[in-house]
Amino acid sequence: MSRSLAARYAAGDLRKNAGVDVALAVVLVLSAFLMATGAMVVERVFGSIDRLFEQAKPPHFLQMHVGEYDRAALESFAAEHPEIDAWVVEEMIGFDGAAVAWQRPGTQEAGDLADSLVDNLFVTQNAELDFLLDESGAVPRPSEGEVYVPVAYQQRFDLRVGDELEVTTDDGAVPLRVEGFVRDSQMASSLSPATRFLVSEADHAALEAGGGGAPEIIAEYRVTHQADLGGLQRAYQADPALPKNGEEVTYPMIRLINALSDGLVAVALMFASGVLVAIALLNLRFVIRGALEDEVREIGAMKAIGIRDAEISGLYLAKYRVMTALACVVGGGLAVAATTLLTRRMEVSYAAAPWELTTVLVPLGALALVYVVVVAICRGILRAVRKVEVVDALVHGSILGERQTARRARRQARRLRRGGLAAGRTGKVDVRLALADLRSDAGQWALVPVVFLLATLLVVLPTSLLNTLESPRFLTNMGMPRSDVLADLRFTDDVDGLRDDVLSDMAGDDRLTDVRAFAEVLYESPSEDGWATLRVDVGDHAGTIELLDGELPAAGQVALSTLNAQKFGVGPGDELTLRQDGATTTAVVSGVYQDITSGGDTAKMPATTPVADVTGAAGYAIHASTAPGADPAAVAAEYAERYPDAAVVPTEEYTRQTMATMTGALRNAAAASLAFGVGVALLITSLFLKLRLTRERRTRGILSAVGFSRREIVAQVRAKTLAAAALGTALGLLVAATAGELVVGGVMASANLGLARLDLVPDPWLVYLAYPLLLVSAAGLAAVALTARLRRADTSAWLRS
C-alpha cells in the first residue's frame, strides 16, 4: 500500500475527527513539551554549574574553622601530599546582617541586611583557586573602598552598582561602594549557611582591626585527580593537628547542592511529562479501539479483498505517527522558550551555560523517547486488526470472534443482573440505570477514573512535597527540635561565658518556655582510612529527632545520622570508639536518624552533666518555644541586639530561608502541575464524552422511546461522569499517600543529602478538599458543556442514527 494512500487516509481522518484529534494532540504536545523542558533544564543546570566551576575553580575539599589554628601544620600537611595541586587558607570576617547597611546616593532609599539570617563573610580574592567571579566571568580585584556583593543579595535587596555599603565595627563604620556583583561557586545556594563579599586587602584589614566581626578560615584544596579526593579527605581528618572546628565539604557535595533547586524543577517537570504520556497512551488506546469498532466492516472488506493486516494497521498508524511527530516538533519548540525562562535566574547566579552538542542531543533524545513510546504502544493496540475475522466483521460488525462476543454478552448479562434494576430494589430508576451502565460497560468507562487517578498524582505530589519542606515537622530532618527561637553561639572567644549569659536570660524570660541547650563537641572515630572527625550534639534529645531505626541514646550510647552510620559502617547495637584529647572511650550505637545539616555528618549523645557545665565545646545551640501571645521574631530581634556575638533568629524564618532555593523552585513546579493536571482532566473528559455521546445515540433514542425525558437522560450522563471522576480522584489520593510517598522519598534520598526517608506532610485542606473538588468540578464542567445540546436535540434522530 503506497505511502501516498496512507497519507491521504490520515489527512481525511484528521479532518473527520478534528475535535477528538485536537484533544489528543494537545495532550501529546504537553507530554513532549514537559519531557523536553525537563531534559533541557537538567542539561542547562549542569552546563551552567560546570561553566562556573571551570572558571571559578572551587576546591575539591574544604574545611571551615572558627578559632585559633596552626598555620605550620597546614603547610606541613600540604607538603606531605603531592596529590594536592593547589591550596589556600582563606581568611574571612563575619558580620551580622544588621551591621551591614546600604544607601542609594541621591535618593531616600536605604536599608540593611538584617532580614538575611546567613553569615555575611568579607573576603579578599584568592590567587590560585576558588575565585569569586563578576557577571562577565572575569576575576575582579576591588580597589580600596570598593565591594563586590553576592548576586543573591543583588536580587533580594535590589542593590545596584554605585550603592554605598556601611559595615559597623566596634571602632566605627567602614564605608564601601558597590562596584559590582559576584557569583560564588561555593556558597550560591540558600542551603549554604553563609555568603561572601569581596573587598580589597586594605578594607579587609580595616574590618578585622575594627572589631565586632567573627574571624573564620577555610582551608581549601584542589587535587590533581579527583580520584585522590577520598584519600586526601581521610588523611586530613586523621591528622589531629589540623583545624576542624567547622563543616567539611567536598566537591561533589558543592555541585549537588548548587544543582538541587533547579534540578528539582526538572525532576518535577519530567514526572509531570511521564504522567501525561501515560494519560495520552490511555486515550490513544480508547480512541484507536473505538475507531476499529466503528470501521470494522471496512476493515473486514479490506481483508476480504486480500489487503494484508500490516498494511491495514499502517493506514491507522500513519495518522498517529504524523500526530506524534507534529506534537514533538511543537512541544520541542515550546520547550526552548520555557527553558530560557526557567534557567534565567540560574544563569544570573551561576553562569551562562555554553551551547554544545549535548544541548541539542539531550532534548532530541527526550522527544525521540516520547515518539518511540507512543508509536510502539499504537502498534501494540493495532495488533487487534489481526484478530478481526472477515465474516464476523462483515455480518456482525464486531472486531471480536464469535466466542469472544458470546463471552462478553454473558459477562454483561451477569453485571446487569447485579446492576440494581431487579425487582424489589428501591431508588430512582434513572440513577440505578446510570450505575448499572457503569458496571456493564466498565471497560470503556475505566478510562475516566484512571485518568483522574493520574491527574490527582500530578496535582497532589508536588504540592505535598512543597508543604513538607515548609512544614515545622521538617525541622526534625534538620537535626533541630521544634522551637520558635534559635540562638547559635560559636563566633566568639568566650563561647562558654556567652552560653551562660544567654541561657540564664532565656530561662528567666516569661515569654519563653521549654528552653533547651545543646553543646557541639568534637570527637574522633576510626574509619576505614584512619581517625575521622565526629561532631556530637550533647543534650536532651527527647522529641528533637525522628529515628529511622533504634531508640534515643542513653548514658554510654550515641545516635548517628544516616550518613555517619554508613561512613563508620555501624548500626544499632554496634560499638563505636570515640577519641577526644588523646583519651578513648566506647559508646554503643542506640539508633540511626536522618539529618541534612552539617553535610549530614552529625551524632547525638545525652548530657552526663548539665549543658551549662560543659566546657571546651566548639559551639552551642539554644532552642526555646514562645508563650502564647509572644512574637518569636520580636523576641529573637531583642536577644540579637542584646547579644551581638550570638546569632539569634526565629526558627521558622531560619528554616524558610535555608530551604528558599528548593521551595521557591518547587512552588513554581507545583503551580504548573496543578494547571496541567486540571487542564488535562477537563480536556480528556471532554474527549471521552464526545466519543461516547456519538456512539450512544441509538441507546439514548431507546431510552427516550420508553419514557425517559431529555433531562433524565442528561442527568444519567452527568452522574456517570461525576461518579467515575470521583472514584479516580479517591484512588489517586490513596496511591499518593502510599506508593507516591515512597517514590518521592526515594528520589529525595537518592540526592544523598542525609535523607533516607521522607514522610510527606500534605496540607489537608488543599490535598483532601480543594484539589479533589477542583478535579471533580472539571469533570462536571465538561459533562455540562458536552450534554447541554442534548436538551434541545431531536430524539427521533437518535433512533435513525
| Residue 727: predicted pLDDT | 92
Range 189-196 average pLDDT = 77
Of 226, 257, 288, which one is at a domain's C-terminal end?
257
Of 257, 274, 290, which one is at a domain's C-terminal end?
257
| Residue 692: predicted pLDDT | 78
Q: Which of 54-58, 156-160, 462-466, 528-532 has the lowest mean pLDDT?
A: 528-532
Q: How confident is the model at residue 200 (pLDDT cuts 50, 70, 90)?
A: very high
Helices (H), 354-507: 357-381, 384-387, 390-391, 402-417, 429-440, 442-445, 447-470, 495-507
pLDDT digits (tens, 9 = 90+) for 718-765: 888 898 999 999 999 999 888 877 877 777 666 666 666 777 888 899
For 266-321, give the DSSP string. HHHHHHHHHHHHHHHHHHHHHHHHHHHHHTHHHHHHHHHTT--HHHHHHHHHHHHH
Examine residue 652 and state whether it is found in any structural domain, yes or no.
no
Examine residue 402 and state whether it is found in any structural domain, yes or no.
no
For 70-110, give the DSSP string. -HHHHHHHHHH-TTEEEEEEEEEEEE-GGGEEEE-TTSS-E
Q: Are residues 120 and 252 in the same domain?
A: yes
CA distance 490 to 259: 29
On whether the CB atoms of residues 222 and 82 are closer than 8 A, the answer is no
Overall domain count for the chain: 4
β pairing state of 248-250 and 547-550: unpaired
Taking all residues of the chain, what is their mean pLDDT, rounded to a whole number?
Answer: 81
pLDDT of residue 73 exceeding 70: yes
**36 pairs with which residues across the strands?**
none
Residue-wise burial string across 137-146, b where 16 or more C-beta atoms lie within 10 A, e elsewhere: eebbebeebb
β pairing state of 248-250 and 214-223: unpaired
| Residue 643: predicted pLDDT | 86
Examine residue 410 and state whether it is found in any structural domain, yes or no.
no
Of 613, 644, 675, which one is at a domain's C-terminal end?
644
pLDDT digits (tens, 9 = 90+) for 379-407: 888 887 777 676 666 665 555 555 555 55
Range 502-520 average pLDDT = 91
| Residue 5: predicted pLDDT | 63
| Residue 218: predicted pLDDT | 92
pLDDT digits (tens, 9 = 90+) for 646-666: 888 888 887 777 777 677 777
| Residue 424: predicted pLDDT | 44
| Residue 142: predicted pLDDT | 93
Q: 305: which 3 cell numbers?
A: 479483498
Q: Are residues 628 and 714 in the same domain?
A: no
Range 148-171 average pLDDT = 89
In this prediction, what percent of the chain has a pLDDT beyond 70? 84
pLDDT of residue 274 exceeding 70: yes
pLDDT of residue 179 exceeding 90: yes
Residue-wise burial string across 712-747, b where 16 or more C-beta atoms lie within 10 A, e elsewhere: bbbbbbbbbbbbbbbbbbbbbbebbeeebbeebbee
On whether the CB atoms of residues 518 and 537 are closer than 8 A, the answer is yes
CA distance 707 to 633: 70
CB neighbourhood size of 575 (10 A): 10
Q: Which residue segment(s) compose the domain that 213 sits in?
A: 59-257
Q: Are residues 616 and 559 in the same domain?
A: yes
Q: How confident is the model at residue 90 (pLDDT cuts 50, 70, 90)?
A: very high
Q: Are residues 529 and 597 in the same domain?
A: yes
Range 537-559 average pLDDT = 87
Q: Which residues contact 652 (CB under 8 A, 6 or more apart)?
A: 472, 484, 632
Examine residue 631 and state whether it is found in any structural domain, yes or no.
yes
On whether the CB atoms of residues 531 and 254 are closer than 8 A, the answer is no
Q: Are residues 799 and 723 in the same domain?
A: yes
The residue ranking higher by pLDDT, 350 or 52, is: 52
Examine residue 398 and state whether it is found in any structural domain, yes or no.
no
3-state helix, strand, coil in the chain (%, to 5): 55, 20, 25
Q: Are residues 92 and 124 in the same domain?
A: yes
Q: Are residues 537 and 607 in the same domain?
A: yes
pLDDT of residue 700 exceeding 80: no
Examine residue 397 and state whether it is found in any structural domain, yes or no.
no
pLDDT digits (tens, 9 = 90+) for 141-155: 999 999 999 988 888
Q: What are the distances in angstroms from CA 345 to CA 35, 51, 342? A: 21, 15, 7
Examine residue 394 and state whether it is found in any structural domain, yes or no.
no
CA distance 236 to 532: 8
| Residue 426: predicted pLDDT | 46
Q: Are residues 253 and 291 in the same domain?
A: no
pLDDT of residue 423 exceeding 50: no
> H-helix or E-strand containing 676?
helix 660-695
Q: Are residues 286 and 154 in the same domain?
A: no
| Residue 147: predicted pLDDT | 94
Closest C-alpha among 645, 43, 620, 17 to residue 364 = 43
Range 236-262 average pLDDT = 78
Examine residue 480 and state whether it is found in any structural domain, yes or no.
no
Q: Are residues 453 and 468 in the same domain?
A: yes
pLDDT of residue 408 exceeding 60: no
Q: Are residues 719 and 639 in the same domain?
A: no
pLDDT of residue 87 exceeding 60: yes
Q: Are residues 251 and 277 in the same domain?
A: no
pTM: predicted TM-score of the whole model, two decimal places:
0.76
